[in-house]
């Protein structure tokens, strides 16, 4: 499968207009895709943003010509109803044929707790997500009104009048073994998050492949996408520190426990060491080093990169891909 290189236009780290300008620049440089974080609270507090992703996507699609655009990641089970998620992305893909996708997952406390007060266990949220995907696919695919009574969601003669000519591609977030298997079984493609390459190669991707094969799909035709942050700067230490905004993602407790205050997340992020950042993210001083960083994750089996630009000079962090993209696609 051909390697795809995508740009993560962070609505948590940058103002929405800045993210839009980055997106236009990324398309001109040659990125295959653009991804937007669908958050209510951000992964850091100081100088952070948290724009609404769906509203931003409409502007980004209109401002660009051909680049594929998706969320990364939408939780369709607590603050959103899956029928509304289905309607939103069907509308966008009808307006911009072939250019819209959605990545879904079981959510993070920082996005769901502040507006719902609810935070079910991981297994329950995974079950909810699977049921939500079923709701979305029924609405996308049915030519008749849909009535459905599930454990978590209900449809009563619900019908989507606005649909695209084809179904919206659905990326399923899988990090642990069970999540990766669910991604293979219920998603069109895998979306995972920055991890040690050995974990990707030996745990995440094999479980994704097994889930796909067990459900009768051909895993070879399914993308293995990964969200990972990078920083490029001639000063290596400055490049590492550019990734501080996302260091909280490397603290397992942020996913395991009910942590939803961005100030608390930031406090954990600020004590993460440089070695952990270097191992799990991409740090480089130039294009050649960035190519090597991408290649180590390609070797682990990643085929579609969703790259979050946390470089001290953001435009430098985009323009360097004029040299990187041709090299990693060879």
Q: Which of 172, 164, 5, 169 is nearest to 72 (CA)?
A: 172
Question: 199: exposed, middle or buried (C-beta count within 10 Å: 0-12, 13-18, 19+)?
Answer: middle
Give the separation between CA 290 and CA 277, rounded to whole angstroms. Answer: 15
Q: Which of 72, 74, 67, 59 is nearest to 98 (CA)?
A: 67
Give the separation between CA 218 and CA 199, rounded to whole angstroms. Answer: 22
Question: 28: exposed, middle or buried (C-beta count within 10 Å: 0-12, 13-18, 19+)?
Answer: middle
* Contact indicator for 291, 328 with CB cutoff of 8 Å: yes
Q: Which of 240, 229, 232 is nearest to 313 (CA)?
A: 232
* Contact indicator for 15, 49 with CB cutoff of 8 Å: yes
Three-state secondary-structure class, residue 286:
coil
Query: What is the C-alpha radius of gyration for the chain, rounded to an integer number of angstroms?
Result: 19
The residue to which tokens 């943003």 are assigned: 49
Retrieve residue 139's tokens: 């609405």
Catalytic residues: 39, 108
Question: 141: exposed, middle or buried (C-beta count within 10 Å: 0-12, 13-18, 19+)?
Answer: exposed
């Amino acid at each position: 499968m051909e390697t795809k290189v995508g740009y993560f236009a962070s609505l948590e780290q940058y103002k929405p207009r800045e993210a839009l300008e980055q997106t236009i620049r990324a398309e001109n440089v040659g990125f295959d895709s653009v991804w937007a974080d669908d958050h209510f609270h951000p992964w850091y507090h100081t100088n952070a943003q948290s724009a609404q992703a769906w509203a931003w996507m409409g502007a980004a699609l209109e401002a660009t010509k051909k680049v594929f655009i998706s969320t990364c990641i939408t939780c369709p089970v607590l603050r959103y109803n899956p029928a509304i998620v289905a309607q939103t992305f069907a509308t966008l893909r009808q307006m911009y044929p072939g250019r819209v996708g959605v990545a879904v997952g079981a959510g993070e406390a920082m996005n769901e707790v502040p507006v719902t007060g609810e935070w079910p266990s991981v297994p329950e949220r995974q079950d909810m997500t699977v049921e939500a995907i079923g709701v979305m696919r029924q609405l996308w695919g049915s030519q008749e009104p849909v009535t459905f009574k599930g454990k978590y969601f209900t449809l009563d003669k619900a019908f989507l009048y606005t649909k695209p000519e084809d179904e919206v591609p659905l990326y399923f977030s899988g990090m642990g073994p069970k999540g990766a298997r669910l991604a293979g079984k219920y998603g069109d493609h895998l979306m995972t998050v920055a991890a040690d390459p050995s974990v990707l190669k030996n745990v995440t991707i094999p479980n994704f492949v097994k889930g796909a094969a067990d459900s009768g799909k051909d895993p070879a035709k399914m993308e293995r996408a990964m969200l990972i942050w990078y920083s490029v700067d001639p000063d290596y230490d400055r490049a590492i520190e550019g990734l501080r905004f996302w260091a909280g993602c490397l603290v397992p407790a942020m996913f395991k426990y009910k942590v939803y205050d961005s100030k608390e997340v930031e406090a954990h992020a600020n004590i993460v060491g440089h070695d952990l950042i270097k191992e799990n993210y991409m740090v480089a001083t130039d294009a050649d080093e960035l190519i090597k960083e991408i290649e180590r994750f390609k070797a682990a089996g990643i085929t579609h990169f969703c790259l979050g630009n946390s470089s001290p000079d953001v435009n430098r962090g985009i323009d360097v891909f004029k040299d990187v993209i041709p090299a990693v696609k060879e």
